[in-house]
Structure formats: C-alpha cells, structure tokens
Amino acid sequence: MKPLIRLFLILAALLPAASHVYAKGTAMTETRQAAYLAGGCFWGMEELVRQIPGVLGTEVGYTGGETPNAVYQQVKTGRTGHAESLKIVFDPVQLTYRHLLFEFFRMHNPTTRNKQGNDIGTQYRSAIFYLDETQKSTAEEVIRTVDASGDWGAPVVTEVVPYREFYRAEEYHQKYLVKHPDGYTCHFVRRLGLGEK
C-alpha cells in the first residue's frame, strides 16, 4: 500500500472519534476552550457571563443528570438529576479558566445547597462540570481560595464533578434576559476580595 493512501486511511479512521470528542465538548483549540457551570437559574448566569471579556459564546442547557435528551418540562421537576447549566466557550488567551471560575463565584451563592434566590431544587445546585484533570484541579484550588477568603461566611458546597453530557435548552431560554430585560434573575456580581490577582 502506498504511504499516501495509508496516511489517508489512518486519518479517515480517526475522524469519527475526533468529531465525537468535539461533540461531547471535550476537544478545544488554543484559542477556544469550554467550561460547563451551574449556579442557579441559567437566565441570570448567562447574562452576566456573556459580558466577561474573553467569552466567545454561551448556551444554556441541562447537565449532570440521568435522563437522556432532557427538556425543561422534565428538568424543572427536579427528578432528572440535571442542573440548569451554562456552556461557555472562551478564549484562554484573554480569559483563563481560573479567572472565569472566580467570576462564577462572584455571581452566585456557592454556600447554599440546591438553592439560589427564590429557586429551590437540585436543578439549581452549584456545580462545576470539569472536562479534564487540569480543569478539576483548577476548580478545587479556586474553591479552597474562596473558602479561605471567608467572603461568603459559610463553606462552599459547589460540586466538582466530571462532565458527561449537555442538552441545549429550548430556544426561548437562550439569552432570555436579552429578549426580556425585565425578566427574573437572582444573579448579580458581588464585589468580593477573592484574591485571584
């Protein structure tokens, strides 16, 4: 077999695996990385995160549960195991994953289990869904820093768990507060001295 044909066959065999990894949200480039975070109602989270310099795009959806192809009518019952979550694509040159996590801890209360503002239930839990060991160790280090700061006055209960699947929420949820500027949110950026500088 000619070397060029052999190379083509090897690349063709690898392509499905590579696209599968990308579809799962685990393959990124030097200028594009992904993060999956949950911190209460995804409307308010998305509105604040998309304004952070270095964020290239956001989508709201459902992560961390057992029900395949989960939809809002299922997730809102709290019985699917999913959290209302945010997929964030960012430029790591402009915004490090570590700094993104500090911003995350400023915009929601990480000390209240399964609760943000008026929203109560496992679907409103605080969670970081890591894509690799680097994201996991960064998340754990940031949580230690947030805990040590004492800024929240209680221990952080944010889950750090492996990413499994993200189901994009219905279109009316996407950028909800852009479409409805007076819509409900319990999120705002708190001025905390979390020591990330």
Q: Is residue 196 part of a domain?
A: no
Task: Kindly state whether residues 101 and 132 are assigned to the same domain.
Answer: yes
CA 179 to CA 185: how far, in whole Å? Answer: 13
Do residue 135 and residue 123 come from a single domain? yes
The residue whose two tokens read 């590579």 is: 18
10 and 94, same domain (yes or no)? no
Q: Are residues 80 and 36 in the same domain?
A: yes
In Å, what is the CA distance from 115 to each residue of 57, 123, 127?
26, 9, 12
Find, among 35, 163, 159, 32, the residue nearest to 97 by Cα: 35
Same domain, 72 and 147: yes
Q: What is the pLDDT of residue 8?
A: 40
- Residue 37 covered by a domain: yes
Is 64 inside a domain boundary?
yes
Identify whether 197 is part of a domain.
Answer: no
Q: Residue 8 is encoded by which pair of tokens?
A: 């083509």
pLDDT of residue 194: 58
Range of the domain at 22: 1-28
The pLDDT value given to residue 21: 32
- Kindly calculate the radius of gyration of the chain based on its CA atoms and give it in whole angstroms: 18
Q: Is residue 185 part of a domain?
A: no
The alpha carbon torsion through 24, 29, 30, 34 (nearest 10 deg) reads -20
Residue ranges of the chain with pLDDT lower than 50?
4-5, 7-23, 26-27, 195-197
Considering the candidates 34, 35, 37, 41, report the single residue annotated as catalytic. 41
Q: Are residues 66 and 145 in the same domain?
A: yes
Give the CATH number, domain containing residue 94: 3.30.1060.10
| Helix (H), strand (E), coil (C) string for 66-113 | CCCCCCHHHHCCCCCCCEEEEEEEECCCCCCHHHHHHHHHHHCCCCCC
User: Residue 28: its pLDDT value, please?
Assistant: 63
Could you tell me if 57 and 11 lie in one domain?
Answer: no
What total of structural domains would you count in the chain? 2
Report helix, strand or coil for 135.
helix
pLDDT score at 186:
87
| 2 and 76 both lie in a single domain | no
Q: Do 149 and 83 belong to one domain? A: yes
Burial zone of 68 (CB within 10 Å; 0-12 exposed, 13-18 middle, 19+ buried): exposed
pLDDT of residue 13: 42
pLDDT at residue number 192: 65
Regarding whether 141 and 83 lie in a shared domain, the answer is yes
The number of helix segments (H) and strand segments (E) in the chain equals 6, 8
> Does one domain contain both 41 and 90?
yes
Is residue 186 part of the annotated active site? The answer reads: no
**Rounded distance between C-alpha atoms, residue 76 and residue 84, angstroms:** 9
Q: With respect to residue 194, please indicate whether it lies within any of the assigned structural domains.
A: no
What pLDDT is attached to residue 15? 36
Q: Is 129 contained in some domain?
A: yes
Residue 14, in any domain of the structure: yes
Residue 37: DSSP 8-state: E
